[in-house]
């Protein structure tokens, strides 16, 4: 019976990956909580809305824009789409039962999922985000600039939102 060898380097790499993944999940949870606390609606289409806007950013970047050029455009599109969805789909049924609102957001999720398949197809794509994938050696542990960027951005966003809501 072989016993797996333990190294502190592997432990540190797993710890760094866990912190990165935790920051991503924290961002997703924060988005869900902000939407629910501000609208009292559990939006089951939130993931599809994020994916749809990411596909828009990917398309803009494939047409020659850099990430930072596409970012404000996509933010404006996402904001406009969010306001339109709230005004057209959610507000007319805001006093309806919770089940009605759940069905509407689930229907929106299915609609967006179908639209994404029609527009962009179902194959995997590579998205080049704002951070490099090169690694930095920290005490013998390679950590990517992208991982550092994700964690720092998540912490900065939490701090800014805490200031905003006070």
Start-end of H helices in 40-123? 46-62, 67-85, 98-120
pTM of structure: 0.81
Between CA 77 and CA 83 the distance in angstroms is 10
**39-67 residue pLDDT tens:** 788 889 999 999 999 999 999 999 999 99
Between CA 125 and CA 55 the distance in angstroms is 9
Dig out the tokens for 99 from the structure: 């089940």
- Tell me which residues of the chain have a pLDDT lower than 50: none
């Amino acid at each position: 019976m072989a016993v797996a060898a333990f190294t502190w380097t592997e432990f540190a790499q797993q710890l760094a990956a866990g912190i990165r993944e935790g920051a991503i999940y924290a961002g997703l949870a924060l988005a869900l909580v902000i939407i629910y606390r501000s609208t009292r609606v559990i939006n089951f289409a939130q993931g599809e809305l994020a994916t749809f806007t990411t596909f828009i950013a990917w398309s803009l970047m494939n047409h020659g824009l850099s990430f930072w050029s596409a970012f404000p455009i996509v933010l404006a599109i996402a904001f406009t789409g969010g306001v339109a969805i709230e005004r057209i789909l959610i507000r007319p049924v805001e006093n309806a039962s919770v089940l009605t609102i759940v069905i509407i957001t689930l229907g929106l999720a299915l609609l967006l999922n179908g639209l994404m398949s029609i527009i962009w197809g179902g194959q995997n794509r590579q998205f080049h985000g704002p951070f490099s994938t090169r690694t930095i050696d920290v005490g013998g542990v390679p950590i990517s600039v992208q991982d550092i960027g994700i964690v720092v951005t998540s912490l900065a966003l939490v701090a800014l939102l805490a200031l905003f809501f006070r």
